[in-house]
Amino acid sequence: MSPALLIARKEAGELLLSQRGLAWLMAMTAALSGFALLLVSNTELSLLDNAQVVYDMVGIVGALGALLAIVVGIDSTGGERERGSLVPLLLVPASREAILLGKIGGIAIAWAVMYGSPCPISGRSAAPGRTWCRARSSLRFSGRRPC
Amino acid sequence: MLVHIHSLQLSRGGVRILHDVHLSLAAGEIYGLLGPNGAGKSTTVAAALGLLVPDAGEVCLFERMPVPGDAAIYARLGVLAEQNGFYDWMTAEGYLGFFARLYRRRLATVEVRDRLARVGLGPRPGQRIGTFSRGMRQRLGLARALIADPALLILDEPTNGLDPRGRREIHDVLIELAGRGVGILLCTHLLDDVDRLCHRIGVIVEGRTVAESAIAELVRTTGHMARFRLRLSGGLPEVRPADCRITLLACEGEWCLVELDPSLAPENAWRELMFLGWHVTEICREGGGLEDLYLSVTERRAA
């Protein structure tokens, strides 16, 4: 296995197994739950329809996930340097590019996890199921804002 | 030479940290890098590892200049750095396995456990590094440094936080490695470690190498030979030791003060004295040796 892949795996493992990573995921989940609650309450007040809620939620998940992935990425370099665990990594027989690639790979995995983990919340926020499917189809194929 | 540093100068943040540092380390040698806090030892090590770029001077590892990411150098190098962080969520086995794979070594679980046992870390299945004590982390760091069977080991305070037995175990490991031809650069404040392990030392004060030589030679040339106060039952015998490396300095009642040349192991000196009929009942160290040498070299410079 290439050093970049090994480091990416380690970074992903850190996100899913370390207390710090889990804390970030919990924070993300809490934030998304809050947004979902707000959007659903808007649906109850008939201010938004279900498809609109799904559309907004997907956008929020994408943006917030990307933001958090950036924070996790900064932590994986700056934080490691602070904790003193970066130096041993810099002294392995791997190029700096491979280490950087591994870190970026780790951030990509983190973003994928961030993006994937709140899917059930998004689904829940759009009831009934037919509307959810229709909204997803609209997003996927038309690229237009569904109404 | 495994490490060769000549007239190294280095600045950080506009401040000159190293002015003139010299260091050379051959295979099979243990070199002690000494100096007061802030003298520039860790900066010297960082420059030697290629982590900091020198302003002037020569730095060579394995006869070539270290460049970040140079696999040919780093594959033969084991490092225990001053800031020794770990991934607290991993187990010791997982951590060592991760670094072994980065060094392109495939180690079975049994081998990983053997490596851990070698530095005194018993099997701890499922226990995360976050729960390890300082001494256990230090041992794990040493196991990581040894993972690639390096030709050169650079260790910054390797026995920090270890209990006396642990220190002795690590000493034995390092002596065995040096016997197999591994060069070891040891940064430490523990003069006992240096006295026991090192063949040569270098003392850095305020970014300059102020002394560099074999310990025995340095102690002899600076006149800081080890002194011992001996208690003799039955007074001082007529017969004096023939070995010129034992010098009788003074006698007062049943006590006498002797000075030993660093090339003579104290136990051999006592054996010789007892063979001559000296009834030694108590031996007390009276300073001298490496500690006095270190204090005088660092004081002289500070003054």
Whether B191 and B294 have beta carbons less than 8 Å apart is answered as yes
| Region B132-156 average pLDDT | 92
Q: Which helix (H) or strand (E) holds B247?
A: strand B246-252
DSSP H helices, chain B, are 41-48, 71-74, 92-102, 109-118, 134-145, 164-179, 191-197, 215-221, 266-275, 289-302
Give the C-alpha separation, B156 to B292, whole Å. 23
Least-confidence region, from A33-47, B50-64, B178-192: A33-47
B275 touches chain A (CB under 8 A): no
Contact A93 B101 (CB under 8 A): no
A13 touches chain B (CB under 8 A): yes
Query: At residue A117, does pLDDT exceed 60?
Result: yes
Give the C-alpha separation, B172 to B146, whole Å. 14
Nearest to A8 by CA among A138, A82, A81, A113: A113
B137 touches chain A (CB under 8 A): no
Instruction: Chain A: give the shortest CA distance to residue B84, in Å.
Output: 5
CA B64 vs CA B6, B50, B67, B70, B194: distances in Å? 13, 11, 9, 10, 28
Give the C-alpha separation, B6 to B57, whole Å. 6
pLDDT for A126 equals 53
Token pair recorded at residue A82: 């602070």
B84 touches chain A (CB under 8 A): yes
Please state, rounded to an integer, the average pLDDT across all residues of chain B: 88
pLDDT for B29 equals 94
CA closest to A1 among chain B residues: B101
Nearest CB to A91; choose among B79, B98, B104:
B79
| Region B270-279 average pLDDT | 87
Whether B162 and B133 have beta carbons less than 8 Å apart is answered as no
CA closest to B75 among chain A residues: A93
Q: Which helix (H) or strand (E) holds B69?
A: none
CA–centroid distance for B245 within its chain? 26
Kindly calculate the radius of gyration of chain B based on its CA atoms and give it in whole angstroms. Answer: 22
CA closest to A22 among chain B residues: B89
Other C-beta atoms lying within 10 Å of the C-beta of residue A58: 18
pLDDT for A15 equals 78
| Region A31-45 average pLDDT | 78
Whether B80 and B145 have beta carbons less than 8 Å apart is answered as yes
Contacts of B79 in chain A (CB under 8 A): 87-88, 91
Give the C-alpha separation, B191 to B291, whole Å. 7
Token pair recorded at residue B174: 């390092």
Query: At residue B142, does pLDDT exceed 90?
Result: yes
| Region B73-91 average pLDDT | 89
Contact B87 A93 (CB under 8 A): no
Query: At residue A147, does pLDDT exceed 50?
Result: no
Nearest CB to B89; choose among A1, A6, A17:
A17
pLDDT for B288 equals 67
A77 or A116: which leads in pLDDT? A77
A78 touches chain B (CB under 8 A): no
Could you tell me the sign of the dihedral formed by the alpha carbons of A64, A65, A70, A75, in that order? Answer: positive
Contact A93 B71 (CB under 8 A): yes
Of the ranges A95-104, B19-28, B269-278, the best mean pLDDT one: B19-28
Nearest CB to A10; choose among B72, B98, B103:
B98
ipTM > 0.95 for the complex: no
Backbone angles phi, psi at B102, to 5 degrees: -65, -30
CB pairs under 8 A between A and B: 70
Query: At residue B143, does pLDDT exceed 90?
Result: yes
Give the C-alpha separation, B44 to B131, whole Å. 32
pLDDT for B301 equals 57
Nearest to B67 by CA among A61, A90, A15, A27: A90
Contacts of A96 in chain B (CB under 8 A): 68-69
Contacts of B278 (CB under 8 A, 6+ apart): B230, B232, B236, B237
